[in-house]
Amino acid sequence: MKNSMGLIAAFLGGAIVGGALGLLFAPESGDETRKKIVDALEKRGIKLSKDDMEDLVDEIKSQVIAEEK
């Protein structure tokens, strides 16, 4: 049971990092990408302020950079 939970956690973590990388390297401008993220989150009932969104983007960037090293 413990191994399967680790596998699921690793899969979900990889999916999140992969999605974040896809968004960061998308051919759209940053403003357009941020708007799409905010719209998708709002559809799920999650509301982020501009500062919260910037913090989220910074956190994703730092995790991606740490993964590259």
pLDDT one-digit tens code per residue, 40-52: 878 888 787 778 8
- 22-29: Cβ within 8 A, 24+ apart: 23/60, 24/60, 24/61, 24/64
- Domain span holding position 54: 2-68
Query: What's the number of domains the chain is made of?
Result: 1
Average pLDDT, the chain: 77
Share of the chain above pLDDT 90, in %: 0
Residue 30 CA to residue 11 CA, distance in Å, equals 27
Cβ-based neighbour number of residue 65 at 10 Å: 9
- Please report the pLDDT score of residue 44 as a whole number: 84
